[in-house]
Amino acid sequence: MGNCWFRGSLIVNRVSSNAKPETPKIQSPSERDRSDESKLPSNAKEVEAMRLDSSARNPLVAFSFEELRAVTSNFRQDSLIGGGRFGRVYKGAVAASAAGDGDGAEPQPVAVKVHDGDNSFQGHREWLAEVIFLGHLSHPNLVRLVGYCCEGDHRLLVYEYMPRGSVESHLFSRVMAPLSWATRMKIALGAARGLAFLHEAEKPVIYRDFKTSNILLDEEFNAKLSDFGLAKDGPVGDKSHVSTRIMGTYGYAAPEYVMTGHLTAMSDVYSYGVVLLELLTGRKSLDKSRPPREQTLADWALPLLTHKRKVMSIVDPRLSAAAAAAGAGGELPARAVHKAAMLAYHCLNRNPKARPLMRDIVASLEPLQADDEARDAAGA
């Protein structure tokens, strides 16, 4: 990725919307730097010029606002599929050629993220960061950006449609069937591959907001990372970290980053450990409804992860139900559970230098998936 004018100082503040409340963001009280506000693009032509300057590799469609209004049926309520601080997300359909799926006659489903609720300087920069990063990066475990709209005050993004929604919506749902152990490990491996790709890209990227709500699932539960608004270029040369205002989500952010503002790839590894804990326990990273000592998942679970019996006592009880429904007799693969727990333990090390690299996490998880596939084949 090229060294764009805005990259070194990309800091965004997300504003609240009328969507459901989410875990609060961490942000410093520092004054916003508006020194280069005039350099933000104001139309699609300027966006494309900036994308070319950043060595963009992925073709993107510059949609008009009226086109996106039409494909979402005028942003009708029954097209609404999600939302957050950035605005709302609607399901629509565009021509197959526009979606990059050839010239088929059938329109292709897409997700349209509307940033119109956040016309702030920071909101614009967050939108632009997604266009730049996803216009450059391509990987099976990153959501694909189809196009965007930059017209007047309108800022929209058009992604491939992920029919199963977020990991968060499945993991903490009271109405959806619980995710099986095999599916959870498939998600953990896919997300790890996505982070490993970012960390080892030609120009390394720190994702900075890794959490279950930002991991989306396709029809076959393949995990893809979404929402690159807080992503940062990693340190280059002899630099060990990127100094930045403290942004992230409570419960997921690495403690050393919260304390110092020093951002490294190891910050993502810590967040990955928290997500792995959520997959193991079925608990949220931060849950104020629990007793005080259990509210922050990482703090509560960390001392238990090295004890095999204690680990099995904190595993999501719905996992046994899912195993029984799959015909596995309600038994969980204890060895795999312990291995995943130890992996989470190492990711959550208070010393960031002692945490594993994402490529090593991928190497640790791949045998677990192979074991799951072998068990499924034996039970077929």
Q: Are residues 278 and 366 in the same domain?
A: yes
d(CA 214, CA 129): 16
Statement to judge: residues 215 and 358 lie in one domain: yes
| CATH number for the domain that contains residue 234 | 1.10.510.10
Does the residue 33 lie in any domain?
A: no
Asked if residue 182 and residue 141 are part of one domain, the reply reads no
Q: What is the pLDDT of residue 9?
A: 28
Q: Are residues 375 and 226 in the same domain?
A: yes
Write out the binding residues: 113
pLDDT of amino acid 348: 98
Same domain, 120 and 194: no
Q: For position 106, what pLDDT does the model report? A: 79
Could you write out the three-class secondary structure of the chain? Answer: CCCCCCHHHCCCCCCCCCCCCCCCEECCCCCCCCCCHHHCCCEHHHHHHHHHHCCCCCCCEECCHHHHHHHCCCCCHHHEEEEECCEEEEEEEECCCCCCCCCCCCCEEEEEEECCCCCCHHHHHHHHHHHHHHCCCCCCCECCEEEEEEECCEEEEEEECCCCCEHHHHHCCCCCCCCCHHHHHHHHHHHHHHHHHHHCCCCCEECCCCCHHHEEECCCCCEEECCCCCCEECCCCCCCCEECCCCEECCCCCHHHHHHCEECHHHHHHHHHHHHHHHHHCCCCECCCCCHHHCEHHHHHHHHCCCHHHHHHHCCCHHHHHHHHCCCCCCCCHHHHHHHHHHHHHHCCCCHHHCCCHHHHHHHHHHHHHHHHHHHHHHC
Q: Assess whether 91 and 140 both reside in one domain.
A: yes
Rg (CA), the chain: 21
Type of residue at 242? V
Number of domains making up the chain: 2
- CA-CA distances (angstroms) from residue 309 to 187, 233, 335, 345? 25, 41, 12, 15
Q: What is the pLDDT of residue 19?
A: 43
Residues annotated as catalytic are 209
> Which domain-ending residue is among 160, 188, 208?
160
Nearest to 157 by CA among 81, 65, 248: 65
Does residue 68 belong to any structural domain of this protein?
yes
Q: Does residue 129 sit in the same domain as residue 201?
A: no
Same structural domain, 232 and 369 = yes
Estimate to the nearest angstrom the gap between the alpha carbon of 26 and the chain centroid. Answer: 16
In a domain, residue 4? The reply is no
Q: Check: CB of residue 311 under 8 Å from CB of residue 341.
A: yes
Check if the beta carbon of residue 170 is closer than 8 Å to that of residue 221.
no
State residue 259 phi and psi, 5-degree precision.
Answer: -80, -35
26 in a structural domain: no
Same domain flag for 371 and 258: yes
Model pLDDT for residues 5-38, shown as the tens digit of each residue: 222 222 233 333 344 444 555 544 333 343 344 4
Q: Let me know whether 150 and 293 are in one domain.
A: no
> Which of these three, 140, 160, 180, is where a domain ends?
160
> Is residue 10 included in any domain, yes or no?
no
Q: What are phi and psi of 135, to 5 degrees?
A: -80, -10
Residue 362 lies in a domain: yes
Predicted structure pTM score: 0.83
- Does some domain include residue 34? no
The list of the chain residues with pLDDT below 70 reads 1-57, 84-86, 97-105, 116-122, 236-246, 323-330, 373-380
Same domain for 298 and 363: yes
Q: Please give the residue range of the domain that contains residue 285.
A: 167-379
Binding site residue list for ATP = 113
State the sign of the Cα–Cα–Cα–Cα dihedral 274, 280, 282, 288: negative
Q: Are residues 82 and 188 in the same domain?
A: no
Last residue of a domain, one of 111, 128, 160: 160
- CATH code of residue 135: 3.30.200.20
Query: Given this model, what pLDDT does residue 187 score?
Result: 97
With respect to residue 321, please indicate whether it lies within any of the assigned structural domains.
yes
